[in-house]
With several copies, the nearest count.
Chain A
Amino acid sequence: MKTITVRYFAVFREHAGLDEETLTLDAQSAVDVFVATRDRHGSAEPSGHCKVAINDVMADWDSPVNDGDTVLLFPPVAGG
């Protein structure tokens, strides 16, 4: 089990009802964190259109997560 801080943005923050939380998870990669928080907060967004960063660096869904990491979950972006 790993202690992961998860940060939510935009619609994910509204679904979660909070900016961030620290979870203890059995997660190997970023997508495991995504799925665990989706189940937890009832979001239906597929990961395909979303992005993820680990410790403020853009990452892939199969990037490994380590104990103590901060995982940032970005819903589909819409700048401009």
Chain B
Amino acid sequence: MISITSDVIDPDLLRRTLFDPGAGAFTSFEGWIRNENEGHSVLRLEYEAYEPLALTEGRSILTEAQDRFPHLHAHCVHRIGLLEIGECAVWVGVSSPHRDEAFLACRYIIDQIKIRLPIWKKEHYADGHSGWVNCERCGSHA
């Protein structure tokens, strides 16, 4: 399942949705707002999504992961709106019988989410300027 929300992300609540008596491994990834990007001091970030297609594309990514790794449960939530340093912008969690697939699937999902979902972020800098962040493949890696 994937969702887009302007509410604070609650990782503990989310991981519980992946419980399965046959799952021996759980991995999660969280993207946190950090105070620096490419030498600029960042105060906060603003996320914008085009929700209808972000959800469609997100569901495709999760389905791809589940096709590749049987018995996988996967869940993803992406924040939108204004986020402060330290806040969680994206949460990806997976559970599966063994840890190999859990690590691979979690990595696959976050990588694809970062390059395929119509989501954009604007950095607000300490010097008063702001700027849209270019995509991963075009430049910086987050």
Contact = CB atoms under 8 A, between A and B. Distances in A.
Direct A/B contact, Cβ within 8 angstroms: yes
A78 B50 contact: no
B138 A58 contact: no
Contacts of B138: 49, 76
Interface of B is mostly: mixed
A72 B118 CA distance: 10
B137 A49 contact: yes
A74 interface: yes
B107 interface: no
Interface in B45-60: 47-50, 52-54, 56-57
Given A9-B48, A10-B48, A49-B137, A77 B53 contact: no
Interface string B95-133: 000000000000000100111111111100000000011
Interface size class of A (residues with CB under 8 A): 10 to 19
**Interface residue tally on B, bucketed by range:** 20 to 34
B142 A80 contact: yes
A51 B90 CA distance: 21
A9 B47 CA distance: 12
B133 A78 contact: yes
B31 interface: yes
B64 interface: no
Interface of B: 31, 47-50, 52-54, 56-57, 78, 89-90, 110, 113-122, 132-138, 142
